Amino acid sequence: MARQLIAGNWKMNGQGAQLDFFDDLVSEIAAVDVDILICPPATLIERCARAVDSAMIAIGGQDCHVNEKGAHTGDVSAGMLKDAGASFVIVGHSERRADHGETSAIVKAKAEAVLASGLTPVICVGETLAERESGEAERVVVEQMLASLPDEASDRCEIAYEPVWAIGTGKVASTDDILQMHSALNNALPSGVSARLLYGGSVKPDNAAAILSLDHVDGALVGGASLKASDFASIIKNSIR
């Protein structure tokens, strides 16, 4: 059984004052047998990486450009994120897909750029409410995953299933729906790809244990509740199998 990965996505939140988070988190979790990842905004990656013991907490980016360098004002490359101290990069978050028109082909190219830089991509997939209500959720999400995975099969990819309608809404998918989707994703993974399957979307201290104990749920990608050390610590403690 894979070790669980509990990842926090701070989105566009956090400035230097937020760095106390790490002392507060470490004081609550001591030695736990899970992988922990925090993805702060790019401006904080280097400071976060300096603030943590990388053996205990990994730092990641929230997005990267497909290219290594060049005339792309405002963008950062996977190599730059690595240089700043990141070891993971989230790609294809639904907010990027929706706000920046990122297709699965772009997400795949980003995931390949992340691997090429020696980092681990966390590839996000998820259906909209309309897709779920029309019974298309499983087809859409499996297709998104297959179209977003790098060509080179790798055991250095993580997948996060995040139903769009569950993100930031307090509406969590039912355990039956999560179990069904994660089983479908697990079955659809190409041979040679042993990605962990994370669930994301309104994961909170009070629902984490039920979600993280499901088959084929190998961790969580946490938004809002990752901004508060005590909430994130409680989710981590609920992940221990």
Residues with catalytic roles: 93, 162
For residues 198 and 138, give the distance between their C-alpha atoms in angstroms, rounded to a whole number: 16
The type of residue at 224 is G
Stretch that binds ligand 13P, among 71-79, 109-117, 184-192, 194-202 (CB under 6 A): 194-202
Quickly count: other Cβ atoms within 10 Å of residue 90's Cβ: 26
Two tokens, residue 136: 């298309």
Out of 181, 218, 224, 235, the residue judged to bind ligand 13P by CB under 6 A: 224
Contact status: 93 vs ligand 13P (CB under 6 A): yes
Q: Name which of residues 195 to 214 contact ligand 13P (CB under 6 A).
A: 200-203
DSSP string, 75-97: --BHHHHHHHT-SEEEE--HHHH
For residues 169 and 30, give the distance between their C-alpha atoms in angstroms, rounded to a whole number: 31
Strand partners for 219: 5
For residues 100 and 110, give the distance between their C-alpha atoms in angstroms, rounded to a whole number: 14
Site string for ligand 13P, 150-189 (x = CB under 6 A): ------------x----xx---------------------
In the bound state, the residue with its beta carbon closest to ligand 13P is 223
* Shortest Cβ 226–ligand 13P spacing (Å): 7
Site string for ligand 13P, 103-142 (x = CB under 6 A): ----------------------------------------
Query: Largest alpha-carbon pair distance within the chain?
Result: 47
Query: What residues line the site for ligand 13P (CB under 6 A)?
Result: 9, 93, 162, 167-168, 200-203, 221-225
